[in-house]
Copies of this chain bind each other. A is one copy, B any other.
Amino acid sequence: MKKIPVLEIFGPTIQGEGMVIGQKTMFVRTGGCDYRCSWCDSAFTWDGSQKAAVMDAASIVEKLYEKGTNLFSHVTISGGNPAIHPGIHSLIEELRNQGIQTAVETQGSIWAEWMIDIDEVTISPKPPSSLMKTDWEKLDYYINRLERRPNKAFSLKIVIFNKEDLEYAAEVHTRYPNAPMFLQVGNDDLTEKEAGMLRDHLLERYEWLISETMDDARWNDVKILPQLHTLLWGNKQGV
Contact = CB atoms under 8 A, between A and B. Distances in A.
Interface in A198-234: 199-200, 203, 206-207, 210, 213-217, 219-226, 228, 231-232
Interface residues of A, number: 39
Interface of A is mostly: mixed
B73 A225 contact: no
Given A203-B199, A221-B74, A232-B203, A21 B21 contact: yes
Given A206-B232, A207-B232, A232-B206, A220 B14 contact: no
A231 B222 CA distance: 20
A228 B184 CA distance: 13
B21 A213 contact: no
B182 A220 contact: no
A-B pairs with the 7 shortest C-beta distances? A22-B223, A73-B220, A22-B225, A12-B214, A70-B217, A22-B224, A23-B223
